[in-house]
Amino acid sequence: MIIVDDDKKRPLPELPTEGYSSSSGPSTSAASTAGDSTVASSNWADPPPYTPSDPASSTIMSGTTTTTNSEAGYPDPEEPLVVPHDPTVDILSGDPIPYSSGPSVPPQEEIPDLPHQNRLRIHRAYQPISETLVIDPSLPSPPGTAQKNLELSSTSAPVLARVYVLDCRDLKGRVEMSAQSESGPVKLAVARMPRNAKLAVDVGTKSGPCELFLPLHFSGPLTIHTRTGPVSLGTSLRSRLRILEESSDVRKYWVGDCSDLAEDWRTFERGEWMGDEAEVRTLSGPARVLYWEGIGKVETFVTGLMKKLFG
């Protein structure tokens, strides 16, 4: 293209202003015309009033199909938002997760439906004793019966017993029981004992293991005599006792409340103690003392022992 002097003097064509804005680019305002280079702001068309759209009716275009929020899976803003309850997080919900603090005291077992006994003596020569007994300390006893509430003995056979002691409102003195064998294992389990009653129990054998189960609220001296057998204590029992003396053939403990141990022990040494008391004796065999923790563990042991001894 050749530019001559006449072309230089020719005015440049004006650019069209329709459809352009310095700030927002192309415009579709219908107020401008093709021939106008400038349009007064007072002549601009007023924008339509703002009308907020209904979010619930907003649509999502997919091709030619219109889908509402609820149909698309989005929550409806007009409906309250329901958050699934998580008790592990919401500590103010009123229903926290139950607190667990480890092993707890087992519930009181049901008393077997058996005849009630008191001042009962059972002795069997060369015959085993395996009994579940219910002792009622309030029952009267005729003269000449056992001095203790329960006395079990055998000359040369096992003595195994589980004892339930009933409540007695006007109980005088302690509930006393013993289990002895000349030669054979001895196991006595005090499965139930009223809290307002005191227990005096002794078990022993000259040859064989000896095991005693105490009630959970037992509180008093525990003495174990053995010459050639080991001594073991239950885990929960060990956590509630004080060791007072240990030697080659005797061990003395205090189980339960030790708040006034010095005075209580002096009372026991003088032979004036009327609280709980337990004594275990075996010349040749292991000795074991523990709390009664339910029928399952003991019943399994007793059943297995009886099968081994008597088929």
pLDDT tens-digit map of 126-159: 899 999 999 999 998 888 888 899 999 999 899 9
Residue 93: its pLDDT value, please?
Answer: 40
Residue 256 clears pLDDT 60, i.e. is over it: yes
Residue 17 clears pLDDT 50, i.e. is over it: yes
Residue 309: its pLDDT value, please?
Answer: 57
The percent of residues in the chain predicted with pLDDT above 90, rounded, is: 48
Residue 80 clears pLDDT 50, i.e. is over it: yes
Distance CA 276, CA 268 (A): 10
Name the average pLDDT for the chain: 76
Residue 191: its pLDDT value, please?
Answer: 96
If you average pLDDT over residues 190-213, what whole number do you get? 95
Residue 248: its pLDDT value, please?
Answer: 85
